[in-house]
Structure 1
Amino acid sequence: MIDLGEWKPLAMAALREAFGERLLCMGLQGSYLRGEVRSDSDIDLLVVLDHVDLTDLDHFHEAMRTVPEGDKAVGFTCGRDELAAWPAYELAQFEHGTQVWHGNLCALLPAYGPADVRLGARVSVANLYHMTNHTYLTTRELSADARLDALRAMLKGFFFSLQIVHAVRAGVFVPTKCELLAALDDSSERMLLAHSIDPSEAREEDYSALQQWCSAVMRSL
């Protein structure tokens, strides 16, 4: 784990040295931003350049190796034109899930509106529904522990689906799991999110709860 206050200026300096004025935007995403860091957490960075090719990814890799714990730095690396063409239904969660350290992210994003946010929620829930059914089937012959491990991975995805669904319902983007849990009334949503926060609480019955939640939400949005 890192101290962001100490790590941030080192990472910014390393990327500025590597890319100079080509570095249009840089920021933080993921578990470090949400305050949900585990010992094995990556450091999810947003890096937008004027363009990105594989050599740029090599330079990013090399620059991060000059920073303590830089081997954990991954995240979203993108060119300006690709970001401008990004599907609008993903942009609300992307924008609200980023703390900008350098540049102007809003100026680089295409326009999006409430209909795009709703579509993003529907796509996210549909993908989770498919993954729930797929994982349930493909793990039938595995041990109980292996099935629970697969379930825990889906519960991580459940948070992001619920987050964007709640944004559609309430008109508010809630950034962290604990804050979202406090905002929920539905008992099934609270249970599944609690199991996402503490994966050791996950149970086989969560497969059914996930499937039923996805089905109900897809039909209601």
Structure 2
Amino acid sequence: MTIDIEKWSSDLTERLRGVYGERLLFAGLQGSYGRGEAAPDSDIDIVVILKSLSVSDLDSYRAVLDGMPHGELACGFISGERELLSWTPSELFILYFDTVPLYGSLGLLSRLFDEGAAAGAVRDGACAIYHGGCHNYLYEKSADILVSLYKSAFFVLRAKYFCESGHYVKKRTELVSLLEGGDLAVLELWTSLQSDGLGSAEFRAASELLISWSSEVISKYS
């Protein structure tokens, strides 16, 4: 299945403007489509910011998506302006750098976080991965969960590289040429898992790599 994401995004934006009018402050694209690395089965990650948000607004948004071709692939983030501006700085850092604007601007957010927010994104992400990796290895023993944790590690690696270089790199294909050591090993394994999956014999080794890597990151960013 091929989606013309530029046409799809333009169509969505026009529909949102028609529904919300001046209350629509921002619409943007995240995820693999935002990075230009989408696969045929990729979700379409959309960010929508309204002046204020009610459950009726959510109903309207759902109706818009239901009327869109491939609307079932849509996911993402929707918020009112006041709630967004009160968000944690580490989350705002990720939202700001990871979102491609379709309508409006997120420029205001850049004044709400600093370098500490990027470090917080690294630390918080690594903590979640460490806990998830240990929990999954002991209890669920799920290859799917482990692959999802490696995907989360990709987001942490982008924030980590920003902390260490001052540059935010969105694309996996660009980031892989810039990393080394354990960071590179984690990213390369996630790339492999996307195409080849994970066999039962590889589960322990992949878990060990991720748990060890996240432990080192936690120690460095504590």
TM over 0.5: yes
Report the Cα offset of residue 154 of structure 1. Answer: 1.2
**Distance in structure 2 (CA, Å) of the matches to 1:83 and 1:48:** 8
Report the Cα offset of residue 79 of structure 1. Answer: 0.2
Query: Corresponding residue for 1:45?
Result: 46
Query: Corresponding residue for 2:208?
Result: 208
Is 2:148 the partner of 1:153?
yes
Aligned partner (choices 181, 184, 208) of residue 190 of structure 1: 184
- The runs of 4+ residues in structure 1 deviating greater than 6 Å are none
Q: Mark the runs of 5 or more structure 1 residues left unpaired by the alignment.
A: 141-146
Report the Cα offset of residue 179 of structure 1. Answer: 1.0
Report the Cα offset of residue 108 of structure 1. Answer: 5.3
**Distance in structure 2 (CA, Å) of the matches to 1:110 and 1:55:** 31
* 2:217 counterpart SS class: helix
Q: Mark the runs of 5 or more structure 2 residues left unpaired by the alignment.
A: none
**Distance in structure 1 (CA, Å) of the matches to 2:109 and 2:7:** 28
**Distance in structure 1 (CA, Å) of the matches to 2:190 and 2:9:** 28
**Distance in structure 2 (CA, Å) of the matches to 1:163 and 1:63:** 32
C-alpha contact 2:150 2:190 (8 A) present in aligned 1: yes
Report the Cα offset of residue 201 of structure 1. Answer: 5.6
Query: Corresponding residue for 2:163?
Result: 168
CA RMSD across the alignment: 1.6
C-alpha contact 2:96 2:109 (8 A) present in aligned 1: no
TM-score (normalised: structure 1): 0.91
Write the letter of the residue equivalent to 1:67: M
Query: Corresponding residue for 1:112?
Result: 113
* 1:51 counterpart SS class: coil
**Structure 1 residues 197, 35: closer, same or farther in 2, change over 3 A?**
farther
- After superposition, the C-alpha distances for 1:41-96 in whole angstroms (9 at most, x for unaligned) are 21111100011111111100111222221222221100000011010122222111
Alignment of 1:127-146 (within 5 A): 127-140=128-141
**Distance in structure 2 (CA, Å) of the matches to 1:38 and 1:4:** 12
TM-score (normalised: structure 2): 0.90
Is 2:58 the partner of 1:57?
yes
Identity %, equivalent residues: 31
Provide the aligned length of Structure 1 versus Structure 2. 214
